[in-house]
Amino acid sequence: MKRVAITGIGIEIPAGKVTNDELVTSFNAWVDAENARRGDDGPPLQHSSTAFIEHASGIKTRHMIDPAGVLDPQRMAPRFAHRDDDQLSLMAEFGLAAARRALDDADVAAEDVDMVICSASHQQRSYPAIGIEIQQALGTRGGAFDMGLGCSSAAAALHIATNLVRSGAQRRVLIVTPEIVTAPLDFRDRQTHFIFGDAAVAMLIEPMEEGEARPGRFEVLDTRTWTQFSSNIRNNLGHFTRAEQDDPYAVPLEGNLIKQVGNRVFKEVTVAGHKFIVDFLAEHGLTPHDMRRFWLHQANARMNAMILKLAFGEEVGHDRAPMVLDKYGNTAGAGAVIALQENHKDMKPGDYGLLCAFGAGYSIGGGLLRMM
């Protein structure tokens, strides 16, 4: 079995930044127009508020591929230009930007990669796989496939890629996680309209020779996933959707965009998350105190603080568990990897860190890393 390292990381953040005030202004304008339209038909819809968003989630801004469509109260959704089948698709293009940076970071040529895994919470289509489109555009060899595990998508792909490289089945695996979460998000839903942003990340996974060290890079000591079925975060859109309708050519949006019972997710994933961390580390004779840094899923600042408090038995500061959620919102599978990329340069050889993502499924994915 080979030793394995993350030798390159790439991040792509769209330029369009949206503040809570901007999002709330457009949401409230839509609510006012909708209430006027409905008249006395049912209870009035309620306004959203910046104060609530910041307090409840910790999010201040997020980046989007198309803020204009989202902030237009007449539309309340991003607008992506149609692309023909012979054009590069949006999701592949977004992932490619991060993938190219990861290869540059590792100083590895595309033709030396023999597998691409495109792992994301939402895939633009079923086939041909987005991973294969990225493979073609980059010029990597071997194979490619798509997978997804909600917000644990990058962490779950790390689990697979690490073990493919460790066993010698693949030589170099490029994980690409393009998260365009604004596309399936219901910007007219007060409970969720503020949560997600768009971001893409990529990681190159390579083997190391016995005794080899790659200063400044992380060895992947072990990975793990855990899942338990829950419908508390769910998107029902699928290939059977239209067959369930009386009118198969008028697919309703209700149930077919992201929906979640946020406060139940908060409680249940907090309990499962801290247990996962403690148990996974214990398998290696380690405790949370042995970790120099935690790069946790970026869904909710209070949730991460609670998970760490349960795991450590005391409050833990942001130096130990940095947050990028305030800037980028919840970027699904990308969040923990962005936290890792932005917060590791100060770590010393031998320092341990834990990448841990959690989300829909429920799902949790973890990677125990050690700085070389």
**What residues are labeled active site?**
151
**Choice from 2, 35, 45, 56 touching ligand COA (CB under 6 A):** 56
- The residue among 343, 358, 219 whose CA lies nearest residue 293 is 343
Q: How far apart are CA 158 and CA 41, in angstroms?
A: 50
Q: Which residue has the tokens 């409905």?
A: 38
Spell out where 120-217 has E strands. Answer: 143-147, 173-179, 199-208
**Choice from 163, 182, 300, 343 touching ligand COA (CB under 6 A):** 300
Residues in contact with ligand COA, counted by CB under 6 A, come to a total of 23
Q: How far apart are CA 205 and CA 353, in angstroms?
A: 17
Q: How far apart are CA 220 and CA 214, in angstroms?
A: 12
Q: Is 228 in the site for ligand COA (CB under 6 A)?
A: no
Q: Based on CB atoms, which residue is closest to ligand COA, 207 or 333?
A: 333
Q: Which two tokens stand for residue 60?
A: 């201040």
Going by the DSSP 8-state scheme, the letter that residue 126 receives in this structure is S
Q: How far apart are CA 331 and CA 13, in angstroms?
A: 10
Contact code string over 280-299 relative to ligand COA, x by CB under 6 A: -------------------x
**Choice from 77, 92, 151, 325 touching ligand COA (CB under 6 A):** 151
Greatest CA separation for the chain: 74
Q: Is 359 in the site for ligand COA (CB under 6 A)?
A: yes
3-state secondary structure 326-349: HHHCECHHHHHHHHHHHCCCCCCC
Stretch touching ligand COA by CB under 6 A, among 51-59, 60-68, 72-80, 216-224: 51-59
Q: Is 49 in the site for ligand COA (CB under 6 A)?
A: yes
Using CB atoms, what's the residue nearest to ligand COA?
Answer: 262
Stretch touching ligand COA by CB under 6 A, among 1-9, 101-109, 264-272, 318-326: 264-272
Q: Is 231 in the site for ligand COA (CB under 6 A)?
A: no
Q: Is 50 in the site for ligand COA (CB under 6 A)?
A: no
Q: How far is the CB of 35 from ligand COA (least distance, A)?
A: 15
Q: How far is the CB of 219 from ligand COA (least distance, A)?
A: 28
Q: Is 304 in the site for ligand COA (CB under 6 A)?
A: no
Scanning residues 185 to 214, which ones bind ligand COA (CB under 6 A)?
Answer: 190-191, 194
Q: Which residue has the tokens 């910046």?
A: 50
CB 105, CB 143: distance < 8 Å: no
Q: Is 57 in the site for ligand COA (CB under 6 A)?
A: yes
Q: Is 265 in the site for ligand COA (CB under 6 A)?
A: yes
Q: How far is the CB of 306 from ligand COA (least distance, A)?
A: 11
CB 188, CB 168: distance < 8 Å: no
Q: Is 149 helix (H, G, I), strand (E, B) or coil?
A: strand
Q: Please state whether 313 falls in left (phi above 0), alpha (psi between -120 and 50) or beta.
A: left
Q: How far is the CB of 300 from ligand COA (least distance, A)?
A: 4
CB 171, CB 241: distance < 8 Å: no
Q: Based on CB atoms, which residue is closest to ligand COA, 92 or 336?
A: 336
Residues in contact with ligand COA by CB under 6 A are 48-49, 52-53, 56-57, 151, 190-191, 194, 233, 260, 262-263, 265-266, 269, 299-300, 303, 330, 359-360
